[in-house]
Amino acid sequence: MIKVSNSIRLFTSQLSRHLILVFTGNIFAAGLGLLVILIISKVLTVNDFGLFSITLSVILIAPPLSSLGTNTSMIKFVSSYLCRGKNAEAVQVLRLILYLRMVTSFILAVTIFNTAVFLSRKVFQCPDLPPLLKLAAFGVLFVSILDYLKNVLYTYKMFKKYIVLQLLVDLAKLLTVCILIFSLKLNIFSAVFVFMFIPLLGILFGFWLIRPILLSKRKLIKDLLGQLFSYSKWAFVNSICYGIFPYIAIFMLAKMLSIKAAGIYGLAHNLTYIFPILFLSLRAVLLPEVSRFREIEQFEKYVKGALKISLCLTIFIIPFLFLSKKIILFLFGLRYLDSIAIFNWLLLSYIPFTISSSIRSALYSMNKPHTIAVVELFRVTVMILGCYLLIPFFGILIPAILALIINVIALGFLIMYVFKYIHEGKAVFQNEETAELPYS
């Protein structure tokens, strides 16, 4: 039998290469995305950018809502099948999740379209939002399906193709915005249209990339839907909480202060986009790998090594704390002066959250998604209550400070929990002879 230390050494080497590849590609894609945001923020007023931020937030929340937690289930199930050479069963999982994603995305898009007026008046208290939200409903559908395609590429470790897809989507957004600028057609509606329509082009290219997989033979799996939802019920909670947490502040600031406050906070939030990119990069590489582990010693060494890697990846961001004032004032001007402090606090808050990605991947693979669900529910609950109670007294900076405190507490709990769990030797793995997973 191959020694665990040798397998861990191989894993770490492969992990490093994949992380560098995915993270580098995502950084370039994030740079293109930030350039698009920079151009839009220059053209729009602060109030209009606030409306744009709210609308974009609605679009970006769609994937975790429509996925029903199946992104994580797909990576875990398919990775386990692939490591045992059961390619036909893996394809069946992909197809079933695709059907589910198309149905849930369509329902969510129709719901947003039909409730646009209600959401604008009762939730955001902004009469100018209905046409933007109706336009965003189409983006909800397209972004959700594009998210599915990206996760398929993660699962099959087709990282180069994933990077090409991501870069093409962001480059298409940039080129479209530039064309709108030169034709004097860039306004809040055309800006939202860019983020709604371009994902459709990504969908067409994404299906072309994975067509050999989806068109290959499949094998029917007994009670597959039940297995998926048995595991996904917790992953669904995690996805929803993870998806809405960054946007709670924007929504509550718009409701409790003003659309302008949402625009100022929204700019700072968009500038920290590198951290969600880093988090997703780590997840894309870590979860397919760790889902193949079957020995408790592998997990302990994995957690220690992955924590070191993720910590190192976040350290180089620290200099931005000292450069943020010059960068924001140079790029966006004095009208976004209040974004500087928000940006700094958000930078700090994303560091513990990003480091926790390795812990979360390990817990998913050890069939402990309910533990992550508890942590995510804690994060969302405290953020909502904190914003509701403290924003009236302390203003626009409160959500960013709360995010740091919440993420530090969550990271500390996850680290203590996973090492306690590993040392007790209670990890449960998938049976090698069956497709079924033990669920907690």
- DSSP states of 330-366 as a string? HHH-GGGTTHHHHHHHHHHHHHHHHHTHHHHHHHHHT
pLDDT digits (tens, 9 = 90+) for 270-310: 777 666 665 566 665 655 555 555 555 656 666 666 666 66
**pTM for the structure as a whole:** 0.70
pLDDT of 172 reads 92
What length does the chain have? Answer: 440
The Cα-based distances of 126 to 51, 55, 118, 195, 389 in angstroms read 9, 12, 10, 21, 22
Contact between residue 275 and residue 345 where contact means Cβ atoms under 8 Å apart = no
The Cα-based distances of 42 to 30, 245, 341 in angstroms read 18, 27, 20
* Percent of the chain residues past pLDDT 90, beyond the cut: 13
Query: Between vectors from CA 208 to CA 205 and to CA 213, what angle results, nearest 5°?
Result: 135
What is the pLDDT averaged over residues 401-416?
90
pLDDT beyond 90 at 409: yes
Contact between residue 33 and residue 173 where contact means Cβ atoms under 8 Å apart = yes
- The 8-class DSSP code of residue 69 comes to T
| CA gap 365, 386 in Å, rounded | 32
Q: How confident is the model at residue 433 (pLDDT cuts 50, 70, 90)?
A: very low
Contact between residue 379 and residue 324 where contact means Cβ atoms under 8 Å apart = no
**What are the residue ranges of helices labelled H in 156-187?**
159-182
pLDDT digits (tens, 9 = 90+) for 361-407: 777 767 777 888 888 899 999 999 999 999 998 888 999 999 999 99
The Cα-based distances of 317 to 303, 308, 321 in angstroms read 22, 15, 8
- The 8-class DSSP code of residue 204 comes to H
Q: Give me the residue spans of the domains in the chain.
A: 4-423
Contact between residue 134 and residue 110 where contact means Cβ atoms under 8 Å apart = no
| CA gap 170, 198 in Å, rounded | 8
For 238, the token pair is 């995690």
